[in-house]
Chain A
């Protein structure tokens, strides 16, 4: 089977405690903006490393550096102990780092199996013909292994649900011999049940011996599966702790910025509850029937905060 150079990668280190991916004081600046400063991070085999952070904390920049989309401007990134600067996503993949992006990197109009093997197509014969049957079979097996049944692999990916697409992307990354798999907010757009399915795959990938980097802003999801937590804030690491050193409350607190949350709740408490209309006083839809338009207009000006609560009666309703 000839599946490109992706599988021709270096051996896994014997010691499972060795970091596969190690970042030392990595920084990235876009012009005069320092998106990332002095970030140190270790991704080990068989561990889920959760990277948490609010919007704009630098999570995306961190992923892009690991995935080879951007190069870093400071510090060092080591893969299997060797310093690397990835010039392209292909180079990162060749070192065993696969990324499942938020937008999943699936071409919507292409069929499931074509997407599964995109960039790593299997071909055979002197004409380098695509081995379509073989690829369909593998795609089907791998997806069934992950518990997703897609009845028609010829269907375009654009017509599948968000969870199905996520699973295709994860199954693809695992199949192509990734040693580190980076998941960019995989549960952000999913429902409760589908999030659970995705979290299950994360555990499966971890148990398969992969180093998983799980990027999220949901501490509950992170705490369910994570071994190691890193919180980013304004481009810096503010917390780097093992699961044993942390409770979910602490993690949530740290993530929300502790003091800031207290401040915010204090601020919110200051809002005068009397200004808020009590729920039972507001009836949505038609109010009292038999009001003329003038009366409605009068009421509306009084309830100007919530004009939809009062609607004039239409002639048809009078019958």
Chain B
């Protein structure tokens, strides 16, 4: 099908004269990520003002790394939220993935890569299970994934203690394939004075791919439709159940990636880790403009949300404030961002 540069807008006479064209600023402000962007600039300016070391180039790498660890998960979680669902098990699923790779390869003496691949299968299976259970039972995803959250966090502790007798997996840094896996999941390189850790690259890559899929492919169209009105989507032939399972599996895939990064960064995984992280991913997505009810949101916004987290985490330390206040700051940020988002959107839509 040949494309034209712009779609013709019909003949002038058939136009509804009650509707005037919207200004550029109104269109810009009605984007879902605008609230997050304003927030990110505000946070950056705040910490640049109060913390001198925040201004240095050395901070850039650390900020980006902090943001990437959240952003890698916030991206698929945002996709899932646009599709109208939650995943409360996303935080512990990261730990489950890292633990399974470590325990499997250590206990069976396998090449590390075999453990890595088995962990991928497990992570995708957990995602698929979440989606399947949701479709099968028709329960809210909040409940279903709350169940998997507790089941997984229990299994993380239980299985680790059963297999290794401690609360952490044994270090795997002397095993076959560790170095090459480390190069893939946890390496580091320098661009000028800034040292960049590899998750930053994956984070940016995930953001680009997810944005492309969401806005430029039919699957993205289906995600919006499933989140906006699943009955309508089903009625016009969108495979609603498959979309849901796919979204949960995308979260599973990202959880595997994050889990592998943690494993190869620290050589072993603490089995109690990950609890509470799921909320941080959800908050990043909400700050980025995703509606809790689904059908609306932005991946770039979620990534900016993750960036706000990264800056705040480091900024509080650099400013010499007590890090105990980090979560309070987050709560206030969440409320402010949501208020700004709704306010800006309403104003822009009214224009």
Q: Which residue numbers of A lie inside 8 Å of B, CB to CB? A: 1, 6, 67, 69, 88-90, 93, 99, 101, 103-110, 114, 117-124, 127-134, 136-137, 140, 143-144, 147, 149-153, 159, 172
Query: With A105-B235, A118-B225 given, is the CB distance from A151 to B8 under 8 Å?
Result: no
Interface 1/0 per residue, B320-351 and A, CB below 8 Å: 00000000000000000000000000000100
- Chain B residues contacting A151 (CB-CB under 8 Å) are 9-10, 15-16, 19, 21
In whole angstroms, how far apart are the Cα atoms of A52 and B19 in the complex? 38
- Is chain B's interface secondary structure helix, strand, loop, or mixed overall? loop
The number of chain B residues with a CB under 8 A from chain A is: 40
A to B CB contacts below 8 Å, 17 in the list: A67-B235, A90-B237, A105-B232, A107-B228, A108-B229, A109-B224, A109-B291, A118-B232, A119-B233, A122-B1, A130-B220, A133-B4, A134-B3, A140-B10, A149-B15, A151-B16, A153-B7
Q: Does A137 contact B8, Cβ atoms closer than 8 Å? A: yes
One of A90, A101, A129, A149 near B217 (C-beta < 8 A): A129
B295 located at the interface, meaning its Cβ lies under 8 Å from any Cβ of chain A in the complex = yes
Residues of B within 8 A of A152 (CB): 19, 21-22
- Interface contacts beyond A121-B218, A144-B14: sample of 17 additional A-B pairs, CB < 8 Å, sorted by A: A6-B237, A88-B237, A90-B239, A103-B232, A104-B232, A107-B225, A107-B233, A108-B295, A110-B295, A120-B237, A130-B217, A136-B7, A140-B7, A140-B8, A143-B10, A144-B10, A151-B16
Does B224 contact A110, Cβ atoms closer than 8 Å? yes
A257 → chain B closest CB, angstroms: 31
Whether B296 is near chain A, meaning CB under 8 Å from some CB there, is yes
Within 8 Å of chain A (Cβ to Cβ): is B6? yes
User: Which of A119, A133, A149 makes the CB contact (< 8 A) with B238?
Assistant: A119
Identity of the chain B residue whose Cβ is nearest the Cβ of A101 in the assembled complex: B235
Partner of A106, one of B16, B220, B229: B229
Question: How close is A266's CB to chain B, nearest CB, in angstroms?
Answer: 43
A266 vs B240: C-alpha distance in the bound complex, in angstroms?
52
Within 8 A of A (CB), among B231-262: 231-239
User: Is A107 in contact with B14, judged by CB distance below 8 angstroms?
Assistant: no
Is A119 touching B7 in the complex (CB atoms < 8 A)?
no
Q: How far is the CA of A193 from the CA of B1 in the complex (A)?
A: 37
A89 contacts B3, C-beta separation under 8 Å: no
B268 to chain A, nearest CB (A): 40
Rounded to whole Å, the gap between the CB of A181 and the closest CB of chain B is 13
Given A107-B229, A118-B236, A130-B224 contact (CB < 8 Å)? no
B residues with CB within 8 A of A:
1-11, 14-16, 19, 21-22, 216-218, 220-222, 224-225, 228-229, 231-239, 291, 295-296, 349
Q: Which residue of chain A has the shortest Cβ distance to B13 in the bound complex?
A: A149
Q: List chain A residues, Cβ under 8 A from B296.
A: 109
Closest 3 A/B residue pairs (Cβ): A107-B228, A136-B7, A121-B218
Please tell me if the beta carbons of A89 and B236 are within 8 angstroms of each other in the complex. yes
Q: Report how far A99 CA is from B222 CA in the complex, Å.
A: 19
CB distance from B13 to the nearest CB of A (A): 9
A194 to chain B, nearest CB (A): 14
The answer to whether B22 touches A133 (Cβ under 8 A) is no
Residue on A with the closest CB to B297?
A109
Residues of chain B within 8 A of A144, CB atoms compared: 10-11, 14
- How far apart are the CA atoms of A99 and B295 in the complex, in Å? 23
Question: A148: nearest residue on chain B (CB-CB)?
Answer: B14
From A6, A104, A109, A131, contact of B228 by CB (8 A) = A109
Q: A117 touching B216 by the CB < 8 A rule?
A: no
CA separation between A89 and B228, bound complex, in Å? 18
**A196 CA / B89 CA spacing, docked (Å):** 52
The smallest C-beta distance from A55 to any residue of chain B, in angstroms, reads: 20
CB distance from B79 to the nearest CB of A (A): 16
Which A residues touch B237, using CB under 8 A? 6, 88-90, 93, 119-120
A107 touches B295 (CB 8 A): yes
CA distance A90 to B239 in the complex (A): 8
Inter-subunit contact A128/B217 (CB<8 Å): yes
The 8 Å CB contact of B235, one of A89, A127, A132, is A89
Q: Bound state CA distance, A110 and B232, in angstroms?
A: 12
By a CB distance below 8 angstroms, the chain B residues around A67 are: 235
Q: How far is the CA of A129 from the CA of B232 in the complex (A)?
A: 23
With a CB–CB cut-off of 8 A, which chain B residues contact A147?
A: 14
> Which residues of A lie under 8 Å from residue B232 when comparing CB positions?
101, 103-107, 118
Q: Which of A101, A106, A131 contacts B3 (CB 8 A)?
A: A131
| The one of B3, B11, B221, B229 that contacts A133, using a Cβ cutoff of 8 Å | B3
Measured between beta carbons, the chain A residues less than 8 angstroms from B221 are 110, 114, 117-118, 121, 130
CA distance in complex: A151, B81 (Å): 30
User: Bound complex: CA of A130 vs CA of B217, how far in Å?
Assistant: 5
State whether A130 touches B216 (Cβ < 8 A): yes
Distance of A127 Cα from B3 Cα, bound (Å): 16
Contacts of A99 in B (CB 8 A): 235
Nearest to B293 among chain A residues (CB) is A109
Chain A residue with Cβ nearest B18: A151
Q: Which of A93, A101, A105, A123 contacts B218 (CB 8 A)?
A: A123
| A134-B7 Cα distance, complex, nearest whole Å | 8
A99 CA to B232 CA, complexed, in Å: 11
